[in-house]
């Protein structure tokens, strides 16, 4: 629903929630000549009141948490969230540190518990830091312009050979016979 | 009846092209900064989106905060009706020049009042800066317009425009001075001090959102067009064929905005005291020009 | 004072518009770019070398003792793309590609899960390693010692401690 | 005045046991009573400078807490670490802040993390830990299990407690989210009209508890990756500093080719960081074209880094003992071409931009920091060099391949924002010339040292010159392939307090440019945390009030 509204014009409020600066610089970078997202109607705004989208960078430290909550509520509805970088997506390398909340999902959990809100549309942009193109791609996915490529992959090993003594001793023979066990092929 | 219809059509046309002119300016600015830039209609897209978004009001808000964007918008539309633009015809009455100055000045004041009542620190600082800049720039503008009135011995905009011919020294200098004042009043760099994004977070606009922000932004574009229109009117001879008039007006408008944006792109922002100092030096010059204009009589 | 401004203006015009067309035209990351790591299911043997080396613990492992399954999980939302897993993987099952378009609207899409069957210890009956890992090790072990691999670590040390010949049981 | 190394060593021997831990680095173990006397001699009389104070919980090893004051003597190319054992019961040692004001934050940090009391410290309050951190728990002590604590803290009503603001004066909050900074930091500026009369800093929003994570969870060869993520701009220099510290501690000889590769990447990082800084400065002064043009050039450097290392920012090139990737001939050629282009472009535009009238009028004689103040606060890097102090780790404590290069150290005396810009301007071109030397002379050889073994409980000091100044890592190695104590000190940690001096008496409009002029890298600084006392005043706000988002 909100996507249609933002097709042509998207104003972004950038909120550093304890990031190392890597992602912040890359977010800033998409506004510079080589990437220039103004051509896509994206603009960086200084006040959360003007914004349509919040960009979170960083694992959300305990110290920034109250400020992040305030900024989150200052953005008018409908809004969307872009979690840039692995830290914002899932806590990154800091995920179990005492000083961080650990990513946007933990942040949402707090919001759900205390404020009972409907969660906004969120796009996750992993990368450490993501390339500027990856951020542009993330926003394109958010707007529904491009299709999401990344899918969960799941694999369950179905059949395994019975591990008998004979089998393991004469492994080479069996492997040749069946030709299908490709364990540890280089 | 026909007269009113033409004025209305004029205003509607300006309402449509004002954001487009801004779009063109953005595009040119982008090109000068080696980037591709937004599409020309981008400003319209932004405005449409803002109009469709809700405005959040702060808890300490007052009536002034809510209605001032609309008052400013109304002021600007009215002021646009006073000056001839696409056609020769405009609302014209004795003393409309004074009304024009009043409308421009009062919108600055409403903007300041509105943002002060939002209760935000940055908005207050922005309003502070807005008032100190506006008082001076409106004084300058009043002085220039007074010079024009003296030159033509009239208080009706219709009889003042265009100011040249005759090509007198005072007329040319005063037109140049007006162009500079218009530049300052558009809050173009290096004078975009009340909204300075990196210093005080968009200053006066910080607390507005959604519709009210859209209306405010729209009024800024209208104000820019208004000032441009006055400059065009000062130069553009109105005795050319009626059909050519809209085209030549639009060409002039475009040329002006392109010149302004080219200048703007290569400037940094001045500090408020530096800007005020610059403007104060203009006061004596204007007084001298006015005096010369008076002597011409 | 005017000259520097005009010089910059000239230089800007000379440079021209440099903007890439990106979302409308594909961009290729350079060779050697550390992009999305992906697990080749056919090659993974569940040895946990990558799990141990991964600085942010983006790779984790769970053992389901009921089903006898070892689950290796890669969560891209925590990955720092350092490529250490690629360095240590004995079978080159995990590799970093040049793919960088990883954005997704659901954090679940950032997971890669591999579930491998485990083997039971022939003495105590506990699950101790994946079948693939045992077979992989077996290839590099002399034939006469291979049956020892069918025991878990504890049983194996007990067996060796008692000097019972592996041929007996 | 004492000058030769032997004389200094003899002097140190008078105070306590002197131990050489590695090349040019000595540890003096002294009793608490003599700390001030020695520190005064080292900082003021010998013209060295105070670098960092490191607290450490060594009870499992020797039964004491330890405090290390690190001093660098530039003239003698010497590092001296003053080690004081702290009684684990009384936990008291004399503070050195009255003598060296720059030690203020360092000692408060040690107080936060270990509960060590520094006697006669003027303001021993909480600096780093988050606002809702319980009293009396010191996270870096070895007996504190912070993981348990983390879950307890998460269950609390976090996010509802918001500090109350003082209302007596007209306060302009710069931050925590300010478009100029792109990082959450909180400056309170007390203004009269547009003039700043006082400033206060509440920082450490980006404290992420790096040290505890590194000491508890990571192994020696995983720490380089977290070190790199201390800062996303100058991360590689942290990475190198850490690796050097461990290599020094374990006496590992790094192959020359690896050293060259490290230097190349360090200089690439410096160029991109300085260009970034120029862009931000121009943006703050409203000159957006300057921002766009410098970042346009910078993008070339970023692309080069991506080709050389596989990532634009976090190079991930180091392991203890060497580097992970090689640079081949083709890449060297490409790098030289890129550098030529960058140099040509920058010569064309950057100095022109610095001559613009709005830029000069808003940077010259703004944000002054005198030489004396700079010495007192022990500032480092371009900030110190702009205030007339010639200090550069690359020159005075050479590491990596810097001893084989020819370069100048630019020094300016004015101490204003403009001279800080000039220092960086000169450094960009010095870096480019250094890069050319490095790329042309890179020797053949191995990439990593053989037999990387790290012994237990050895100390090592790693120094690098980050784009923002000197960067110090002190490492004590631990058992089971872990670090026992790792204290990274980023340059901004010493530089940020100087902004409060610079801001006083300036115009509000200049504040962002002044703050930015030190090139603050708050995420570097905030690996440790501190808060103002006034956060003790807590107030629970309702949802509506929070949503106002002021």
Neighboring chain A residues of D299 at a CB cutoff of 8 Å? 29, 32-34
pLDDT value, residue C129: 87
Rounded to the nearest integer, the mean pLDDT of chain D is 82
Closest by alpha carbon to A85, among D314, D528, C98? Answer: D314
**B4 pLDDT tier (thresholds 50, 70, 90):** confident
Q: What are the φ/ψ torsions at residue D426 (nearest 5 degrees)? A: -65, -40
Task: Tell me the CATH number at A50.
Answer: 3.40.50.12280
**D158 pLDDT tier (thresholds 50, 70, 90):** very low
Q: Specify whether the CB–CB gap between A139 and A42 falls below 8 A.
A: yes
The predicted model gives B254-262 an average pLDDT of 89
Contacting partners of chain D (3+ CB pairs under 8 A): A, B, C
Domain end point (choices D495, D515, D543): D495
Nearest-CA distance D217 → chain C (Å): 9
Through-space distance between the first and last CA atoms of chain D, rounded to whole angstroms: 56
The predicted model gives D408-415 an average pLDDT of 90
Mutate to test the interface with B, among D192, D289, D357, D363 (most CBs of B within 10 A): D289
The predicted model gives A15-37 an average pLDDT of 86
Within an 8 Å CB–CB cutoff, is residue D362 touching chain B? yes
Within an 8 Å CB–CB cutoff, is residue C27 touching chain D? no
Mutate to test the interface with A, among B32, B42, B123 (most CBs of A within 10 A): B42
If one counts every other C-beta atom within 10 angstroms of the C-beta of residue A68, the result is 28
Domain end point (choices D445, D467, D495): D495
Mutate to test the interface with B, among A10, A46, A136 (most CBs of B within 10 A): A46
- In chain C, positions 7-46, which contact chain B (CB-CB < 8 Å)? 8-9, 12-13, 15-19
HSE-up of residue D282 (Cα within 13 Å, Cβ side): 26
Facing A99 at nearest CB: one of D230, D292, D529: D529
User: Is B110 exposed, middle or buried, given 0-12, 13-18 or 19+ CB atoms closer than 10 A?
Assistant: buried
Task: Tell me the CATH number at D370.
Answer: 1.10.645.10
pLDDT value, residue D167: 38
Q: Is residue D486 part of a domain?
A: yes
Compare D65 and D528 and report the one with higher pLDDT.
D65
Q: Is residue D112 part of a domain?
A: yes
Neighboring chain B residues of D283 at a CB cutoff of 8 Å? 198
Mutate to test the interface with A, among C77, C119, C134 (most CBs of A within 10 A): C77
Within an 8 Å CB–CB cutoff, is residue A186 touching chain B? no
Within an 8 Å CB–CB cutoff, is residue A129 touching chain D? yes
Within an 8 Å CB–CB cutoff, is residue A154 touching chain C? yes
The predicted model gives C138-144 an average pLDDT of 81
Within this chain, do residues D269 and D364 fall inside the same structural domain, yes or no?
A: yes
Nearest-CA distance A137 → chain D (Å): 17
What six digits make up the tokens of A125?
């942009």
Within this chain, do residues D147 and D61 fall inside the same structural domain, yes or no?
A: yes
Q: Specify whether the CB–CB gap between B92 and B7 falls below 8 A.
A: no
Taking CA atoms, what residue in C is nearest to D296? C18
pLDDT value, residue D422: 92
Check pLDDT > 70 for residue D153. no
If one counts every other C-beta atom within 10 angstroms of the C-beta of residue A8, the result is 18
The predicted model gives C89-104 an average pLDDT of 89
**B236 pLDDT tier (thresholds 50, 70, 90):** confident
Asked if the Cβ–Cβ distance from D207 to A128 is below 8 Å, we say no
The predicted model gives C131-160 an average pLDDT of 82
Q: Are strands D25-30 and D78-86 parallel, antiparallel or unpaired?
A: parallel
Q: Is residue C1 part of a domain?
A: no
**D437 pLDDT tier (thresholds 50, 70, 90):** very high
Question: Quick one: chain A helix, strand, coil %, rounded to 5?
Answer: 40, 15, 40
- In chain D, positions 364-393, which contact chain C (CB-CB < 8 Å)? none
Neighboring chain C residues of A142 at a CB cutoff of 8 Å? 103, 105
Model confidence over D180-198: pLDDT tens digits? 445 556 666 676 666 777 7
Domain that holds residue A21: 11-143
Candidate from B75-84, D107-116, D134-143 with smallest mean pLDDT:
D134-143
Neighboring chain A residues of D238 at a CB cutoff of 8 Å? none
Closest by alpha carbon to A35, among A121, A132, A115, A102? Answer: A132
Q: Is residue D177 part of a domain?
A: no
The set of residues, in sequence order, having a beta carbon less than 8 Å from that of B167 and lying 6+ positions away, is: none
Check pLDDT > 60 for residue B225. yes
What six digits make up the tokens of A139?
């926003």
Asked if the Cβ–Cβ distance from D173 to B121 is below 8 Å, we say yes
CA-only gyration radius of chain A, Å: 22
Question: Structural domain tally of chain C?
Answer: 1
Check pLDDT > 80 for residue D173. no
Nearest-CA distance A160 → chain B (Å): 58
Q: Is residue C6 part of a domain?
A: no
Neighboring chain D residues of B32 at a CB cutoff of 8 Å? 289
Closest by alpha carbon to D428, among D532, D315, D272? Answer: D272
Mutate to test the interface with A, among D182, D310, D532, D548 (most CBs of A within 10 A): D182
Q: Is residue C39 part of a domain?
A: yes
Question: Structural domain tally of chain D?
Answer: 2
Asked if the Cβ–Cβ distance from B202 to A46 is below 8 Å, we say yes
Asked if the Cβ–Cβ distance from C19 to A91 is below 8 Å, we say no
Model confidence over A139-166: pLDDT tens digits? 988 888 888 888 888 888 887 777 777 7
Q: Is residue A178 part of a domain?
A: no
**C59 pLDDT tier (thresholds 50, 70, 90):** very high
Within an 8 Å CB–CB cutoff, is residue D310 touching chain C? yes
Within this chain, do residues D115 and D218 fall inside the same structural domain, yes or no?
A: no
Asked if the Cβ–Cβ distance from B34 to C8 is below 8 Å, we say no
Asked if the Cβ–Cβ distance from C18 to B35 is below 8 Å, we say yes
Q: Is residue A71 part of a domain?
A: yes
Mutate to test the interface with B, among D173, D286, D364, D545 (most CBs of B within 10 A): D286
Model confidence over D240-253: pLDDT tens digits? 999 999 999 999 99
Nearest-CA distance C6 → chain A (Å): 20
The predicted model gives D323-327 an average pLDDT of 90
CA angle at C32 for the pair C30 and C33, rounded to the nearest 5°? 65
**D537 pLDDT tier (thresholds 50, 70, 90):** very low
Q: Specify whether the CB–CB gap between D433 and D407 falls below 8 A.
A: yes
Query: How many Å apart are CA D80 and CA D68, to the nearest integer?
Result: 10
Neighboring chain C residues of B34 at a CB cutoff of 8 Å? 12, 15-19
Question: Structural domain tally of chain A?
Answer: 1
Domain that holds residue C149: 18-168
Nearest-CA distance A14 → chain B (Å): 13
The set of residues, in sequence order, having a beta carbon less than 8 Å from that of D445 and lying 6+ positions away, is: D255, D256, D257, D258
Within an 8 Å CB–CB cutoff, is residue A125 touching chain C? yes
Q: What are the φ/ψ torsions at residue C136 (nearest 5 degrees)? A: -65, -45
Facing B35 at nearest CB: one of C9, C13, C19: C19
Burial B154-170 (b: 16+ CB within 10 A, else e): eeebbebbbbeeeeeeb
Domain that holds residue D55: 5-129+131-156
Asked if the Cβ–Cβ distance from D232 to A17 is below 8 Å, we say no
Nearest-CA distance B35 → chain C (Å): 5
Compare D530 and A113 and report the one with higher pLDDT.
A113
Nearest-CA distance A115 → chain C (Å): 22
Asked if the Cβ–Cβ distance from C30 to D293 is below 8 Å, we say no
Neighboring chain A residues of D546 at a CB cutoff of 8 Å? 66, 69-70, 73
Task: Tell me the CATH number at D78.
Answer: 3.30.460.80
Contacting partners of chain A (3+ CB pairs under 8 A): B, C, D
**A137 pLDDT tier (thresholds 50, 70, 90):** very high
Task: Tell me the CATH number at C36.
Answer: 3.30.70.20
DSSP one-letter string for D141-169: STT--HHHHHHHHHHS-TT-EEEPPP-SS
Asked if the Cβ–Cβ distance from B121 to D512 is below 8 Å, we say no
Within an 8 Å CB–CB cutoff, is residue B96 touching chain A? no
Helix axes A65-74 and A103-115, enclosed angle (nearest 10): 70
Within this chain, do residues D294 and D435 fall inside the same structural domain, yes or no?
A: yes
DSSP class of residue D121 equals -
Check pLDDT > 50 for residue A62. yes
User: Is D491 exposed, middle or buried, given 0-12, 13-18 or 19+ CB atoms closer than 10 A?
Assistant: buried
Model confidence over D444-455: pLDDT tens digits? 988 888 888 888
Facing D358 at nearest CB: one of B33, B120, B270: B270
């Amino acid at each position: 629903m909100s996507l249609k509204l933002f097709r042509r014009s998207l104003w972004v409020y950038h909120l550093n929630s304890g990031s190392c600066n890597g992602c912040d610089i890359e977010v800033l970078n998409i506004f510079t000549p080589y990437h220039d997202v103004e051509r896509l109607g994206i603009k960086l705004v200084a006040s959360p009141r003007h914004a349509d989208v919040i960009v979170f960078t960083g694992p959300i430290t305990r110290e920034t948490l109250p400020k992040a909550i305030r900024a989150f509520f200052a953005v008018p509805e409908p809004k969307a969230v872009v979690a840039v970088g692995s830290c914002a997506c899932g806590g990154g390398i800091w995920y179990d540190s005492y000083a961080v909340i650990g990513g946007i999902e933990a942040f949402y959990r707090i919001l759900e518990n205390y404020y009972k809100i409907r969660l906004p549309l969120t796009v996750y942009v992993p990368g450490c830091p993501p390339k500027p193109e990856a951020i542009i791609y993330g926003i394109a996915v958010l707007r529904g312009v491009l299709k999401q490529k990344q899918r969960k992959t799941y694999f369950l090993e179905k059949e395994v050979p019975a591990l008998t003594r004979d089998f393991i001793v004469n492994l080479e023979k069996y492997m040749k016979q069946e030709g299908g066990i490709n364990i540890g092929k280089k | 009846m026909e007269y009113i219809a033409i004025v209305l059509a004029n205003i509607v046309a300006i309402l449509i092209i004002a954001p487009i002119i801004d779009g063109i300016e953005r595009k040119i600015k982008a090109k000068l900064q080696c980037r591709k830039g937004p599409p020309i209609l981008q400003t319209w897209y932004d405005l449409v989106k803002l109009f469709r978004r809700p405005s959040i009001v702060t808890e300490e808000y007052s009536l002034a905060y809510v209605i001032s964007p609309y008052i400013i918008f109304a002021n600007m539309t009215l002021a646009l009706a006073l000056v001839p633009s696409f056609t020769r015809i405009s609302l014209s009455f004795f003393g409309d020049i004074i009304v024009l100055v009043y409308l421009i000045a009062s919108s600055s004041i409403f903007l300041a009042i509105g943002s002060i009542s939002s209760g935000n620190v940055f908005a207050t600082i922005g309003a502070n800066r807005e008032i100190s800049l506006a008082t001076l720039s409106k004084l300058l503008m009043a002085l220039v317009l007074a010079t024009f009135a003296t030159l033509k011995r009239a208080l009706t905009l219709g009889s003042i425009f265009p100011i040249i011919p005759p090509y007198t020294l005072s007329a040319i200098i005063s037109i140049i001075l007006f162009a500079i004042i218009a530049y300052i009043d558009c809050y173009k760099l290096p004078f975009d001090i009340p909204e300075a994004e990196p210093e005080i977070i968009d200053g006066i606009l910080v607390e507005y959102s959604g519709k009210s922000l859209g209306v405010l932004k729209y009024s800024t574009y209208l104000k820019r067009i208004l000032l441009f229109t006055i400059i065009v009117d000062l130069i553009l001879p109105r005795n050319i064929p009626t059909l050519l008039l809209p085209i030549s007006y639009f060409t002039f408008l475009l040329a002006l905005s392109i010149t302004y944006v080219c200048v703007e792109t290569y400037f940094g922002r001045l500090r408020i005291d530096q800007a005020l100092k610059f403007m104060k030096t203009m006061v004596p010059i204007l007084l001298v020009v006015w005096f010369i204009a008076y002597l011409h009589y | 004072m005017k000259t520097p401004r005009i010089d910059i203006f000239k230089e800007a015009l000379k440079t021209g518009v440099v903007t890439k067309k990106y979302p409308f035209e594909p961009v290729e990351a350079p060779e050697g770019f550390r992009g999305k790591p992906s697990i080749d299911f056919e090659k993974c043997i569940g040895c946990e070398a990558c799990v141990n080396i991964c600085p942010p613990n983006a790779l984790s492992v769970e053992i389901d003792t009921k089903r006898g399954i070892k689950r290796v999980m890669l969560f891209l939302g925590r990955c720092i793309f350092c490529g250490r897993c690629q360095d240590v993987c004995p079978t080159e099952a995990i590799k970093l590609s040049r793919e960088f378009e990883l954005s997704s609207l659901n954090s679940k899409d950032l997971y890669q899960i591999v579930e491998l069957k485990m083997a039971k210890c022939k003495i105590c009956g506990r699950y101790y390693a994946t079948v693939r890992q045992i077979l992989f090790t077996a290839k590099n072990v002399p034939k006469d010692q291979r049956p020892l691999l069918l025991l878990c670590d504890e049983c194996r040390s007990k067996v060796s401690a008692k000097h019972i010949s592996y041929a007996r049981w | 005045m004492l000058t030769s190394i032997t004389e200094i060593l003899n002097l140190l021997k008078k105070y306590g046991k002197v131990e050489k831990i590695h090349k040019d680095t000595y540890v003096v173990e002294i009793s608490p009573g003599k700390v001030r006397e020695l520190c005064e001699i080292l900082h003021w009389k010998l013209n060295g400078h105070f670098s960092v104070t490191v607290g450490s919980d060594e009870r499992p090893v020797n039964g004491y807490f330890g405090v290390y004051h690190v001093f660098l003597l530039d003239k003698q190319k010497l590092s001296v670490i003053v080690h004081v054992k702290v009684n684990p019961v009384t936990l008291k040692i004399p503070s050195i802040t009255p003598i060296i004001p720059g030690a203020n934050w360092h000692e408060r940090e040690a107080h936060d993390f270990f509960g060590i009391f520094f006697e006669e410290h003027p303001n021993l309050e909480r600096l780093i830990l988050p606002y809702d951190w319980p009293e009396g728990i010191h996270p870096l002590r070895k007996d504190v299990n912070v993981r348990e604590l983390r879950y307890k803290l998460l269950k609390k009503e976090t996010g509802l407690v918001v500090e109350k603001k003082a209302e007596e004066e007209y306060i302009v909050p710069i931050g925590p989210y300010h478009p100029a900074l792109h990082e959450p930091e909180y400056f309170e500026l007390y203004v009269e009209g547009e003039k700043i009369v006082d400033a206060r800093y509440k920082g450490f929003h980006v404290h992420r508890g790096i040290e505890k994570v590194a000491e508890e969870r990571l192994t020696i060869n995983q720490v380089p990756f977290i070190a790199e993520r201390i800062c996303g701009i100058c991360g590689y220099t942290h990475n190198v500093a850490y690796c050097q510290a461990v290599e020094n501690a374990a006496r590992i000889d790094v192959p020359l080719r690896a050293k060259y590769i490290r230097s190349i990447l360090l200089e690439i990082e410096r160029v991109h960081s300085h260009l970034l800084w120029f862009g931000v400065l121009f943006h703050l002064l409203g000159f957006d074209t300057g921002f766009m043009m410098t970042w346009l050039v910078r993008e070339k450097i970023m692309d080069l880094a991506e080709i050389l290392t596989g990532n634009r920012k976090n190079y991930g090139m180091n392991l203890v003992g060497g580097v992970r990737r090689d640079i081949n001939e083709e890449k060297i050629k490409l790098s030289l071409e890129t550098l030529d282009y960058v140099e040509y472009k920058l010569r064309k535009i950057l100095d022109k931009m610095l001559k613009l009238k709005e830029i000069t009028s808003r940077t010259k004689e703004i944000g002054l920091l005198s030489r004396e103040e700079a010495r007192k606060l022990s500032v480092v890097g371009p900030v110190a060099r702009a205030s007339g102090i010639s200090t550069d780790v690359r020159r005075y404590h050479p590491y990596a391949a810097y001893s084989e290069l020819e370069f100048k150290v630019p020094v300016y005396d004015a101490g204003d924002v403009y001279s800080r810009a000039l220092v960086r301007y000169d450094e960009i071109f010095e870096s480019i010339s250094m890069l050319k030397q490095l790329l042309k002379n890179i020797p053949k050889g191995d990439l990593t040292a053989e037999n990387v073994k790290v012994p237990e409980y050895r100390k090592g000091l790693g120094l690098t010159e980050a784009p923002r100044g000197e960067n110090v890592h002190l490492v004590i190695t631990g058992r089971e392939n872990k670090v026992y104590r790792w204290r990274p000190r980023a340059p901004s940690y010493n530089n940020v307090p100087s902004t409060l001096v610079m801001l006083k008496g300036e115009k509000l409009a200049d504040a962002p440019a002044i703050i930015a002029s030190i090139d603050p890298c708050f995420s570097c600084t905030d690996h440790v945390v501190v808060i103002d006392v006034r956060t003790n005043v807590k107030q629970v706000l309702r949802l509506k009030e929070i949503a106002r988002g002021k």
